[in-house]
Amino acid sequence: MSQSSAPLPPLPLISRQASALKGRIRVPGDKSMSHRSLMFGAVAIGETVIRGLLEAEDVINTAKAMTALGASAARGADGVWRVQGVGVSGLQSPAAPLDFGNSGTGVRLAMGLMATTPLTATCVGDASLSRRPMGRVTGPLAQFGARFETAEGNRLPITLHGAREPVPITYRLPVASAQVKSAVLLAGLNTPGRTTVIEPTSTRDHTERMLKGFGARIAVEQKDDGRHIAIEGQHELTAQTLDIPGDPSSAAFPMVAALITAGSDIVIENIMLNPTRTGLIQTLIEMGGDIVIENRRLAGGEEVGDLHVRASQLSGIAVPAARAPSMIDEYPILAVAASFARGVTRMEGLEELRVKESDRLAAVEAGLAANGVATRSGRDWLEVDGGGAAGGGTVTTHMDHRIAMSFLVMGLAAARETRVDDSRFIATSFPDFTGLMNAMGAKISA
């Protein structure tokens, strides 16, 4: 939700026990790829054409930001988005602050994109985004020569002054974050010489893949201390035509809904299956979930497939910390699945959940407790007792779309209904979530 839009009242929703979910559905385009396609198109030469763009608030804010920086990004009557790029050094100071709403990806990647061009831009966001740490990107971007005026604690609002004479850096990621990796690589685009990111733990690699597709001089090498990603700056990118497949992080909600709702049998078509994003599918299959990947194919440089999901009795497992980057946004819905499993599910390596759209570890625990599910947790781990959720509770969503959707899924299989205090933020990533779920047989209503 953008800061400038009139504050809408909270929108509570109720989810009631459903009978079998059925149908073939498609979920909206991948959010990570959608942000990147707009941003890379903005600094390419020529017109980038994007089909299947996620038309949700987070991505629309990125499109508006790119237009404000001089690269027009617009939707045609045919539903196809077209971006007129200005080249790697062509971005201009915007006339007004750039409002990134709820989106960490939007603001962090855009700061990288702007950091090595001599422009001045103020970045703002909603109350959730304004609480999130930005030092993780302003730190490395300052090493290129960019300057930042930030609110207390390296938070938004931030005014960025891009470097006039950027210098390339080598940066070892202190946190497993694709956003930080991407911000540094994007700053490298308009920097002379070679910028290198060293990634000890692999994170989603859409930036590397997609930049290569745009013709960037980017090379990836696996070494003993991690993946080394090097980009040669100040070479122009060439506009592309892109087809964005369905978002596995959105597919996670109907997938778990079908697993936990007796008698369900659904197909979720055209889901991106990049191996840096499939940790949840792997985990649910290990828990005994009947998920079959059909029609595997390659589309737009990514592996894609249809997910055939049938209701299953799940069993609790230990989910290793090493898997966290490949399912980082999926822990809230995994915790819901775990509450219907037999036995205990233990999840480790969760420290980054503390700094998402909400403190997701705390929000998940509170939501589970409100619905009669026992948990134990530490700074970076969570254990969920299975056996089924009683329901009957109201969940505080803390401006977090994934908390809202997770607990609406819980209500489909809980003994009593579940309520979420505010569903407005679902619009940041999955605007038609309720309609799509109800079309399969869910009972979600105001």
Rounded Cα distance between 251 and 344, Å, is: 24
Rounded Cα distance between 304 and 26, Å, is: 13
Burial 149-187 (b: 16+ CB within 10 A, else e): ebeeebbbebebbbbeebebbebebeebbbbbbbbbbbb
* Binder of ligand S3P out of 13, 114, 178, 420 (CB under 6 A): 178
SS3 336: helix
302 part of the interface to ligand S3P, by CB under 6 A: no
Spot the catalytic one: 99, 306, 329, 422: 329
Rounded Cα distance between 356 and 282, Å, is: 23
Between 269 and 352, CB nearer to ligand S3P: 352
Residue whose C-alpha is closest to residue 183's, from 334, 368, 92, 191: 191
User: Shortest gap between Cβ of 205 and ligand S3P (angstroms)?
Assistant: 10
Rounded Cα distance between 354 and 346, Å, is: 17
Task: Find the binding residues for ligand S3P in span 334-353 (CB under 6 A).
Answer: 352
Question: Residue 253 in contact with residue 38, Cβ under 8 Å?
Answer: no
Between 204 and 308, CB nearer to ligand S3P: 204
Largest Cα–Cα separation, the chain = 62
Q: Quick one: which H or E segment has residue 437?
A: helix 433-439
Query: Active-site residue 224, yes or no?
Result: no
User: Shortest gap between Cβ of 35 and ligand S3P (angstroms)?
Assistant: 6
User: Shortest gap between Cβ of 362 and ligand S3P (angstroms)?
Assistant: 17
User: Shortest gap between Cβ of 249 and ligand S3P (angstroms)?
Assistant: 7
* Site mask for ligand S3P (CB under 6 A), range 118-157, x = bound: ----------------------------------------
User: 345: Cβ–Cβ under 8 A, 6 or more apart, which residues?
Assistant: 287, 316, 317, 318, 319, 334, 335, 338, 383, 384, 386
Rounded Cα distance between 197 and 195, Å, is: 7
Helix axes 178-189, 206-213, angle to 10 degrees: 30
Q: Total number of residues binding ligand S3P (CB under 6 A)?
A: 10
Rounded Cα distance between 154 and 46, Å, is: 36
User: Shortest gap between Cβ of 344 and ligand S3P (angstroms)?
Assistant: 25
360 part of the interface to ligand S3P, by CB under 6 A: no
Token pair 């979920």 in the structure block, residue: 27
User: Shortest gap between Cβ of 394 and ligand S3P (angstroms)?
Assistant: 26
Between 306 and 352, CB nearer to ligand S3P: 352
274 part of the interface to ligand S3P, by CB under 6 A: no
User: 212: Cβ–Cβ under 8 A, 6 or more apart, which residues?
Assistant: 218
Token pair 């946004």 in the structure block, residue: 329
117 part of the interface to ligand S3P, by CB under 6 A: no
Between 243 and 329, CB nearer to ligand S3P: 329
* Binder of ligand S3P out of 54, 61, 187, 204 (CB under 6 A): 204
* Binder of ligand S3P out of 84, 177, 274, 312 (CB under 6 A): 177
113 part of the interface to ligand S3P, by CB under 6 A: no
* Binder of ligand S3P out of 15, 32, 128, 418 (CB under 6 A): 32
User: Shortest gap between Cβ of 409 and ligand S3P (angstroms)?
Assistant: 18
User: Shortest gap between Cβ of 207 and ligand S3P (angstroms)?
Assistant: 7
Rounded Cα distance between 343 and 336, Å, is: 13
328 part of the interface to ligand S3P, by CB under 6 A: yes
272 part of the interface to ligand S3P, by CB under 6 A: no
229 part of the interface to ligand S3P, by CB under 6 A: no
182 part of the interface to ligand S3P, by CB under 6 A: yes
329 part of the interface to ligand S3P, by CB under 6 A: yes
Between 104 and 411, CB nearer to ligand S3P: 104
Return the range that interacts with ligand S3P (CB under 6 A); candidates 14-22, 90-98, 171-179, 379-387. 171-179
Rounded Cα distance between 35 and 54, Å, is: 9
Between 21 and 38, CB nearer to ligand S3P: 38
Rounded Cα distance between 191 and 149, Å, is: 22
Rounded Cα distance between 302 and 206, Å, is: 9
105 part of the interface to ligand S3P, by CB under 6 A: yes
Between 402 and 424, CB nearer to ligand S3P: 402
Rounded Cα distance between 238 and 360, Å, is: 39
User: Shortest gap between Cβ of 161 and ligand S3P (angstroms)?
Assistant: 24
Catalytic site residues? 329
Q: Footprint of ligand S3P on this chain (CB under 6 A)?
A: 32, 105, 177-179, 182, 204, 328-329, 352
